[in-house]
Amino acid sequence: MRVLVTGHQGYLGTVMVPVLRARGHEVTGLDIGWFADCVLGDAPQDPPGLAVDLREVRAEHLAGFDAVIHLAALSNDPLGALAPRITHDINHHASVRLARLAKDAGVRRFLYASTCSVYGAAGDGLVAESAPLRPLTPYAQSKVRVEDDLVALADGDFSPVFLRNATAFGFSPRLRADIVLNNLVGHAVLDGVVKVLSDGTPWRPLVHAEDIARAFARCLDAPVEAIHCRAYNIGAEVNNLTVADIAHAVAEVVPGAEVLITGESGADPRSYRVDFSAARRELGFEALWSVADGAAELATEYCARGLTAADFTGRFVRLARLRALGEQGEIDAELRRVAPATAAPAATSTETAATTSAELSDSVTPEPKAQAPATSTTPSRADSASLSSGAGGIESARAGGDPIGVGG
Ligand SMILES: NC(=O)c1ccc[n+]([C@@H]2O[C@H](COP(=O)([O-])OP(=O)(O)OC[C@H]3O[C@@H](n4cnc5c(N)ncnc54)[C@H](O)[C@@H]3O)[C@@H](O)[C@H]2O)c1
């Protein structure tokens, strides 16, 4: 199949592309390249790609593809909280616009990277896909809005599928340190302490990046009528763990590391255990990685590839990296590329990231349907100011422990 993967130079995209190529798919990427050179170890082999801002995608970018895998997004809660308006512009408006262009271009499958965070604070019972969606953050709200709007676009010629991924873990050359297991293993390796800032009781569903890639591959293989407009939780029940369990799993694989549960922060109200049986039943998908195996893999890779504390708290933290790009003048207050996209590492397209107001107006879609979030869904102003000075968010991302355990 000819597949366009947006966000192919991100944490998940970098793991997914080889998985798809190994299955014979012809992959093209599309990415603004924010994290293209944030690599631990050897540089990955990127596929041919378009260095394009999602907000500026045009019809011709979608021509000729059988499927779109849409990963590009502001990918965590700290970013969403600091820049809610931009989060809605990119994650919601530009995503729906991408889907419309894909549909118009005759793309049959649109596989969307949603998140288990759409369930919010769901308590101790297992939540299946039919559970009420209670997104607690601008990031999670943006995911629900896209799902709703894509359902409205679905018809006999256009089949969106929603993969609600658990929070990812595992090694990717384009590492993220701001997701819970990757973060706790990093602190264990670098500091000898696995520090949990809450009381450790919230539930988190986890899944390895490679398993997410395999789930998307399954959705390319499945008969399109079988997956038309379906939502699938992607993960494994065995990897529904409390934050304290996750911390102890880390301490098991890093000799000498100690678990410290401080209970000082209860800021993140998310807690949910997820039922993954629909993907097993309907896609034949089984997650292969346990949290213990993933922790061991991460510890090995961090040591072998010489992870440093500066990188771990700097360029591998999504918020810190965007802040640095802003300070270096490479992105503007709207997170648009200031330098020509040809300057972006690994860009293989002649596209530029130039912005025009006409193109911008394209990216605005009607106001989304009302949800029932616990926080306001009204996009706020002046996101960029708080992002460029965003010490609070970066500090909380640096602090380790579960409050940053977001990622999806
Ligand atoms: N990592 C997780 O734990 C997790 C869990 C559930 C869902 N997800 C979802 O999966 C997707 C990928 O996550 P990830 O961890 O790889 O995130 P990431 O931040 O590592 O990668 C996102 C990629 O999208 C690109 N991008 C962002 N905005 C763009 C824009 N306006 N135009 C073009 N490219 C843009 C970035 O440059 C980056 O390469 C996201 O949609 C995320 O919400 C991730």
Whether the pLDDT of residue 390 is over 90: the answer is no
Q: Which of 75, 164, 165, 179 to mutate to test the pocket of ligand 1 (most atoms within 8 A of CB)?
A: 75
Mean pLDDT over each residue of the chain, to the nearest integer = 84
> Atom 8 in ligand 1: which residue has the minimum CA distance?
408
Both structure tokens of 310? 């500066």
Whether the pLDDT of residue 254 is over 50: the answer is yes
Q: pLDDT of 166-202, one tens digit each?
A: 999 999 999 999 999 999 999 999 999 999 988 999 8
Q: pLDDT of 204-240, one tens digit each?
A: 999 999 999 999 999 999 999 999 999 999 999 999 9
Distance 71 CA to ligand 1 centre (A): 5
Distance 75 CA to ligand 1 centre (A): 5
pLDDT at 340: 60
Q: pLDDT of 281-305, one tens digit each?
A: 999 999 999 999 999 999 999 999 9
Nearest to residue 164, comparing CAs of 16, 63, 274, 83?
A: 274
pLDDT at 381: 31
pLDDT at 151: 98
pLDDT at 214: 98
Distance 127 CA to ligand 1 centre (A): 24
CA atoms of 396 and 388, how far apart (whole Å): 15
Whether the pLDDT of residue 357 is over 50: the answer is no
Whether the pLDDT of residue 391 is over 70: the answer is no
Structural fold of domain 2-176+206-240+270-303+338-382: Rossmann fold (3.40.50)
Atom of ligand 1 minimally distant from the CA of 14: 16
Distance 9 CA to ligand 1 centre (A): 9
Within 6 A (CB) of ligand 1 lie: 7, 9-13, 31-35, 53-55, 71-73, 75, 90, 113, 115, 165, 167-168, 176, 179, 318, 407-408
> Atom 26 in ligand 1: which residue has the minimum CA distance?
72
Whether the pLDDT of residue 63 is over 90: the answer is yes
Say what the pTM is.
Answer: 0.87
Both structure tokens of 226? 């079988």
Compute the CA torsion angle 46, 52, 54, 58 (nearest 10 deg). -120
CA atoms of 279 and 281, how far apart (whole Å): 5
Q: Which of 12, 14, 52 to mutate to test the pocket of ligand 1 (most atoms within 8 A of CB)?
A: 12
pLDDT at 125: 84
Residue spans of the domains in the chain: they are: 2-176+206-240+270-303+338-382
- Number of helical H runs and strand E runs in the chain: 17, 14
For the ranges 82-91, 126-135, 386-395, the maximum mean pLDDT occurs at 126-135
Q: pLDDT of 261-281, one tens digit each?
A: 988 766 666 778 999 999 999
Percent of the chain whose pLDDT exceeds 70: 81
CA atoms of 255 and 250, how far apart (whole Å): 10
Q: Which residue has the higher pLDDT, 356 or 176?
A: 176
Atom of ligand 1 minimally distant from the CA of 94: 31
Distance 258 CA to ligand 1 centre (A): 32
Q: Which residues pair with 273 in a beta bridge?
A: 126
Distance 257 CA to ligand 1 centre (A): 31
| Average pLDDT estimate for 301-322 | 96
pLDDT at 121: 77
Q: Which residues pair with 28 in a beta bridge?
A: 4
SS3 for 4-71, per residue? EEECCCCHHHHHHHHHHHHCCCEEEEECCCCCCCCCCCCCCCCCCEECCCHHHCCHHHHCCCCEEEEC
Whether the pLDDT of residue 47 is over 80: the answer is yes
